[in-house]
Chain A
């Protein structure tokens, strides 16, 4: 089409940034508002007072320093799962197997943690965390093989590997690595030298949180400033164009999958060495799935994963307190999360807000 109109009058850059950032913030505020209202409605309909319920939730998450620290601890695994999801999605890799990779990573770390003795903390901890990363990464190998050699969609294979991972680790702690002294099904307790040092007295917050933040920052650099990150992003945006330009597509796919598995595996390792101290049967309440949703919330940006994870962590921590204080079940929080998700998938309000803001600014 021959373009008859002139180039639109240039809007100064700083105003564009205001409109861009403002749109995002306003969009999330609206989504949050609607979701919280729906949650309030559900609470109200089950005969309780939404205001007290939400207050209990906020107090539970941020009431005092200890509780805030606990919330940060909760978000640690979310951050890592979110990063894992981000790296995969940016490369257009549909890794639905984060949950399974989490389990394998967690168990691998536990194995190194309870079966190796006589090491110092400085050696044992990195070893466990490394094992977790390796475990998570290795678990993606069958998926990679089936995709690259046989063109079998990873959407189905990663899902299957989830269930296999959960059952397999269940088996491991039920038979070969059973700990007869445990109340709940679990592995033997980890050596003290494998436990992550705590950050704050009285809270479960440990250096895992620092590691998670560092991973997020590293991933930001990796995706946007490194050569390989650029390759992965281009492959994610258009595989054919990347191939024709000489970018190694299969290598990028493999890296994205394995890094994704490794990072969420690290998350599992931190959960075990930091929080639980042993591998427990159902230690994850769906953190892998949360990771995917967090990546989505953060629009696949590593730095955006941090606030999104804190949001999730606060919900998780606060929900428990809310339930014990007011009796409102935790599942309400799950529904609020789900509602947020629905709206985020749609980003309905973005165009509308952007137009309004642009008008206001010019």
Chain B
């Protein structure tokens, strides 16, 4: 079959990093090619080069056999390449239809032809069999609908090569199945699909061939039917990933954190958390699974006092904390690693010591009356930096200059380093962190649980939740269901619950 798109010896460097190192890939028309690799392997950079968002330092791109230079996305679009980004690029106040035609709006003299706009979008969505309400505002659409709009955006412009960046990252298992059905249909219509993923099971399910990248280089391309997740993982990482831990069961009397009937509104004043109850035991790791956007963020923010609640009682070791300030809650023994590291985790322009001491600066020995005792502050910061292995040239460096993994270590140092927390709430703790950093953070959380703290891990990464938790609950549309203790069937139970299947409501 003919070649649809190819990269030939593409090299791209950024300051300090070689993102793509002599990358050569060739994709056949009408096939689905998966590109897998760890964070930082260079997959997204390669895709962005193929879409014209970046220009390679050297090497060429071939489209349908012809060598083409892509200076910007417009060039790529004109050649039939469409890209669906991991973070959707939809304008919230526009309708899905308006988003789809943005940039190529049908015109009537100088105005937009609204009728033609809606009709043409309707036509194309029917042609490819997409189930989508194009008149919905983007802000009101579900994640699945938004993604369909993004794909239609590319198809509307006549794309026959689709690049999808982590398309299933924010989808439930059910929505992923629907997506794959759509992709197979598109493939039958002759569309070539490249997609980036780190979810090996899905890659194995849908792709014809898989290209593995590591450290900017292509490790190899294999026929998906001739490989398995083990082999792929080895190619991706080069060594074994960490195994599970010894599961313990929990004595209900030992609850260190109890949440009763918690209800929280989101920023649009809709109920994000609906009457949730939960118990966390000492020494237990409770995994909270669930795709982003089912209320986990609001749940965690409400516990930490960062978001108002409609109602709910929360106790730590018997002491009620739901009406306390964030500081009061922290003083009651709660450590918090937020999911949005750059927004709530650190101040990018603050120095390392300023970030690492932010939880404890106001108490002795760091404060004496009105002033800070700088000697103590700097000494302790130094100790924490060493203990949590933060790789930094010094304490008085701007925290934003560190790598993502090191920033997470700074946060861990602040939260876990000084006080013996009774409850650790870790939200998406290893998202976007490289292998070494991920291992280190997981190790820290395990140690904390072993020392008797209750650890709540919220993660959209099912594998992470399964690897660490003693017990798993699932967040789905604001409600929580118990998947029970870890055993061989836990994965399917959790998968069911994540898509709204039956289960016991409220985890005891």
Contact = CB atoms under 8 A, between A and B. Distances in A.
Interface of A: 1-5, 7, 10, 221, 225-228, 230, 233-234, 237-238, 240-248
B371 A234 contact: no
A241 B338 CA distance: 9
Given A2-B40, A5-B16, A227-B362, A241 B371 contact: no
A181 to B, nearest CB: 47
A4 B17 contact: yes
B434 A2 contact: yes
Contacts of A227: 361-362, 367, 370-372
Interface stretch (B232-240, B262-270, B322-330): B322-330
Interface string B422-437: 0000000000001000
B215 A2 contact: yes
Contacts of B215: 2, 4
A242 B374 CA distance: 19
Interface in B1-38: 14, 16-19
A245 B358 contact: yes
Contacts of B41: 2
A241 B16 contact: no
B393 A7 contact: yes
B345 interface: yes
Contacts of B336: 244
B17 A241 contact: no
A227 B16 CA distance: 37
A238 B348 contact: yes
Contacts of B330: 245-246
Interface residues of B, number: 43
Contacts, number: 95
B17 A238 contact: no
30 contacts: A1-B14, A1-B17, A1-B403, A2-B40, A2-B434, A3-B16, A3-B17, A5-B16, A226-B370, A226-B371, A227-B361, A230-B354, A233-B354, A234-B350, A238-B343, A238-B346, A238-B348, A241-B343, A241-B345, A241-B346, A242-B358, A243-B344, A244-B306, A244-B326, A244-B344, A245-B358, A245-B414, A246-B326, A246-B327, A246-B331
B18 A244 contact: no
A245 to B, nearest CB: 4
A243 B336 CA distance: 12
B349 interface: yes
A230 B361 contact: yes
A326 B354 CA distance: 53
Residue in B18, B40, B345, B350 whose Cβ sees the most chain A Cβ within 10 Å? B350
A354 to B, nearest CB: 15
B273 interface: no
B14 A230 contact: no
B53 interface: no
B130 to A, nearest CB: 35
A15 B16 CA distance: 23
A227 B215 CA distance: 44
Nearest to A236: B347
A92 to B, nearest CB: 11
B193 to A, nearest CB: 26
Given A237-B350, A245-B358, 10 more contacts: A1-B19, A2-B17, A2-B216, A2-B434, A3-B403, A227-B370, A237-B349, A238-B346, A242-B347, A245-B414
Contacts of B349: 237-238
A238 B340 CA distance: 13
B61 to A, nearest CB: 22
Contact of B343 (A2, A228, A240): A240
Contacts of A226: 370-372
Contacts of A221: 371
B304 interface: yes
Interface in B219-262: none
B372 A237 contact: no
Nearest to B391: A7
A217 to B, nearest CB: 14
Interface string B255-290: 000000000000000000000000000000000000
